[in-house]
Amino acid sequence: MKVGEGAAYGAALQALWCWRQQEGETISITEITDQFVELNSPETIHPHKDNVAVYAELQELQDEMSLSLRDVFTKHRQFVLR
């Protein structure tokens, strides 16, 4: 991306997406990124073909962890907001 702090920028975009959904908008994260993200092609990183299976396995683990923690995060939010 053409932004020096890619992780922080991504977090800000995700926060914008969450806020807009909370405000009742039906919007996808793709709509947000299409509006605010421009790739810097010369610096774009592409996956190593030999590692694609490892990337997929790690993504599957990440997805499983995220799903398994949703109830815990909900309980935590309810506790904090009391």
Residue 63 and residue 20: Cα distance in Å, rounded?
Answer: 23
Q: What is the dihedral of CA 12, 17, 22, 25, to 10 degrees?
A: 150
Give the C-alpha distances (Å, rounded to integers) separating 26 from 6, 14, 15, 38.
25, 14, 15, 23
What band does 1 get if pLDDT is binned at 50, 70 and 90?
low
Tell me which amino acid residue 2 is: K
pLDDT (0 to 100) of residue 47: 87
Rg of the chain (C-alpha set): 17
- Ordered by start, the domain boundaries in the chain are 1-45, 47-82
- At 15-58, the pLDDT tens digits run 999 999 999 999 999 999 999 988 888 888 888 999 999 999 99
* pTM across the whole model: 0.53
